Structure 1
Amino acid sequence: MDVKTLISQVKEAEARHDLEQLGRRLPALQIRLIRDSADANALGHAISDLADAFTGRFIQLAEASLGPPPMPYAWVACGSQGRREQTVHTDQDNALILARAADREASGYFGELAEQVATGLDACGFVLCSGEVMARNPEWRQPLEHWERNFRGWIEQPERKSVMLAQNFLDLRCIHGKIDLLEQLRRRILTMIRHNAGFMAALAMEALHDRPPQWLPGGRLSRLMRQSPVLNIKRAGIMPIVGLARLLALADGVMVLGTRERIRAAVASGRLSESGGRDLTAAWDCITLMRARHQVHCLEQGGKADNRLDVGNLSQPERRQLREAFKVVRLIQNTTGRRVAGFLLQ
């Protein structure tokens, strides 16, 4: 079954049980896509499009059971779904932007809607967020004015926790509902950011906090030190590029979401050289594809997909590719990334 067919079936599903049955096909779909030589970008878009379809259908079923919503709202996704970079090993990151403050009846309605959607997605393989960054958490189910106050507080007092929250919600994308609510919030956020160099400087420091390792586990040195050959590929490679690309785009006030799109925007603005953009994009493709292939291996072995890559199982060409990709990321962090951070800290 291809992606378009599965999306069509999801949109036509008549009940939660039907969606849960369709959700069981996601691991096999990732295996097929990788075996058919899909690149990491195509895989991310495919799984994210399916997550969007499941989310939208669960919302429609919830509205059918609860009745019409008491006010306009936007169901938004952040994190990898917001950037359209999901794999089958992913959790939920979502929120609700309400048109106005909710009374008790409206609060109950949206609380129940969010609960039905969250548990439905969990049953389909999009597991609950351990940090509760989900619309079922009242903290992330707020009116537009409250969201604006949240961002204002994060931006004006950019402590590390505030910056981490802000950067997660800077990846918001509307999945269902009134998209204008998100667009209004996005415009206000950009205005706040442009007038607060301190926040951008803090965002730059956070983006440079996670760095790829200078050497890979599993080699002679790690064996002598009796260290595990296992590498968390998401933390070591994915997140440093995500943070760097987000920083470079926002430094120019560009609110695009995908990591590849953000790299292109940085090249277009002159923030990043053309060769740097090509190298960083190649590094991104290499690391994300290696992660996806590892997850396929986990699934084919009967296990659950994860981010724990055993470097000892890589071929010599793969190890060389991964080393070179990490080297590119560190280089651009040390040059372009630090240059942006230094300028913002002046």
Structure 2
Amino acid sequence: MEPIKYAESKPDLEGIRSSASREQLRKEKQECEGQLEQLYAVLPIAAWTSLVNDMHDEIVARAAAVCESEMLEAGCGSPPVPYSFVVFGSLGRRESTLWSDQDNGLIISDEVHQAKNEYFQAYGHRLSNLLEYLGYGPCKGKVMCSEPLWRKTLEEWKRQIASWHQDYGWEPVRYLMIASDMRFIAGERGLAADWKQFFESSMNESPEMATAILRNTVRHKATMNILGQVVTERFGEHAGEFDVKYGVYIPLVNSIRYMALQEGIGETSTLKRLEKLTLLDGGNLLLENCQRAFLKALKLRALASFSMKDGTYSGSGYLPQSELRKKPISLHLRDCLATARQLHRALQRRLRFAERGKS
């Protein structure tokens, strides 16, 4: 059988782009998800993940437009000033599987308009509800445009970022790490570009913040014990299963993000961050191992158990025992965990050195 060609395997996204209602958009999303589920077995994981996130980009961008139309029909008018709809998290990094929760925000123009606060408060709530209707569950950490913390004018955002930089506590540093994955989706691109320029210029101002980010980064470590054994859940509904997201994927994402931030790399994709890091430090065996491990981690994430409700995917993030018993999967997982642990140890040594230097 002739292998399927990547270009010929792309789902048609035109139906998503032309959707005029939330009902039509949900239907088009479900059809596209079905096509992508079938393509998983025949495409390299990087190519498949790229197609999945092409779909997500089109869906959330179209959702913003549909939301504007709904606001107009509800008598709220058109957006009174320009705005930028942006995403964070796995959507910001273009690493989502077929299921994804919400990680998003709004950057609103500083232009003066009496109605803009009221409008965008209503818009943010309506858009978040629309995305939930489309299958993007609410973010547990409330990183959503319905929340005032993630819905601000450009000037308010700059003050917020500056405030985070003045506090080395766990939560402000976590917010900065989340913000570093910001990516533009819809609206006025210039607002997102101005935001990103300010964010990146702020990152190099404080050596203490670099250490604080590193301290947060090493909190998440790969779930492998000192004997090199995979640590699975002991209790609860996922007993005997492996937490792919927090057991190996997040430790890799966080570590690579930290290294990229220290080098001033503006990419949000973990793979692109790794490519830039490798160019800066050619021949680094650990970085090469990280690239291979991260691709395997993406594969494992897509194998995590999921359910369907009303035609919408919902992922658990856990690798079921049936997959863990397969030798190729087990080997992939051990390889990922070994690399993640090696990277974690290297960053722990860097943190100890940085903290000794302050004493």
Pair in the same fold by TM > 0.5: yes
Distance 2:329 2:131 in 1: 34
Q: Is there any run of 5+ residues in structure 1 with no aligned partner, and where? A: none
Distance 2:343 2:110 in 1: 43
AA partner of residue 178 (structure 2): N
CA contact (8 A) 1:218 1:312 kept: no
1:207-218 equivalence runs, <5 A = 207-214=217-224, 215-217=229-231
Following TM superposition, by how much is the alpha carbon of 1:80 offset from its aligned partner in structure 2, in angstroms?
0.6
AA partner of residue 61 (structure 2): G
Closer, same or farther: CA 312–54 of 1 in aligned 2, 3 Å: closer
Q: Is there any run of 5+ residues in structure 2 with no aligned partner, and where? A: 1-7
Query: SS at 2:85's partner residue?
Result: strand
1:1-346 equivalence runs, <5 A = 3-5=10-12, 7-39=13-45, 41-65=46-70, 66=72, 67-100=77-110, 105-214=115-224, 215-217=229-231, 228-270=239-281, 273-295=283-305, 304-311=314-321, 313-314=323-324, 315-335=326-346, 337-342=347-352, 344-345=354-355, 346=357
Following TM superposition, by how much is the alpha carbon of 1:217 offset from its aligned partner in structure 2, in angstroms?
3.9
CA contact (8 A) 1:260 1:281 kept: yes
AA partner of residue 53 (structure 1): E
State the Cα deviation string for residues 133-161 of structure 1 (Å, max 9, x = none).
11122221101111111111111212001
Closer, same or farther: CA 101–201 of 1 in aligned 2, 3 Å: farther
Question: Bigger relative contact order, structure 1 or 2, given CA contacts below 8 A and separation 6+?
Answer: 1
Following TM superposition, by how much is the alpha carbon of 1:201 offset from its aligned partner in structure 2, in angstroms?
0.6
CA contact (8 A) 1:88 1:126 kept: no
CA contact (8 A) 1:26 1:88 kept: no
Q: Which moved more, 1:105-114 or 1:22-31?
A: 22-31
Query: SS at 2:136's partner residue?
Result: coil
Alignment: residue pair count: 335
Distance 1:218 1:80 in 2: 23
State the Cα deviation string for residues 256-275 of structure 1 (Å, max 9, x = none).
110011112222222x7432
CA contact (8 A) 1:75 1:176 kept: yes
CA contact (8 A) 1:88 1:125 kept: no
Following TM superposition, by how much is the alpha carbon of 1:343 offset from its aligned partner in structure 2, in angstroms?
5.6
Following TM superposition, by how much is the alpha carbon of 1:46 offset from its aligned partner in structure 2, in angstroms?
2.0
Distance 2:195 2:285 in 1: 34
Following TM superposition, by how much is the alpha carbon of 1:322 offset from its aligned partner in structure 2, in angstroms?
0.9
Closer, same or farther: CA 304–252 of 1 in aligned 2, 3 Å: closer
Query: SS at 2:304's partner residue?
Result: helix
Following TM superposition, by how much is the alpha carbon of 1:344 offset from its aligned partner in structure 2, in angstroms?
4.6
Query: SS at 2:52's partner residue?
Result: helix
AA partner of residue 257 (structure 2): R
Q: Percent identity?
A: 22
Distance 2:18 2:79 in 1: 21
Distance 2:284 2:252 in 1: 16
CA contact (8 A) 1:311 1:319 kept: no
Distance 1:232 1:199 in 2: 30
AA partner of residue 135 (structure 1): C
Query: SS at 2:315's partner residue?
Result: coil
Give the structure with the larger helix fraction: 1
Query: SS at 2:86's partner residue?
Result: strand
Query: SS at 2:81's partner residue?
Result: coil
AA partner of residue 247 (structure 1): Y
TM-score with structure 2 length normalisation?
0.85
AA partner of residue 68 (structure 2): E
AA partner of residue 216 (structure 1): V
State the Cα deviation string for residues 185-232 of structure 1 (Å, max 9, x = none).
22222222211011111111111111112221469xx79xxx931121
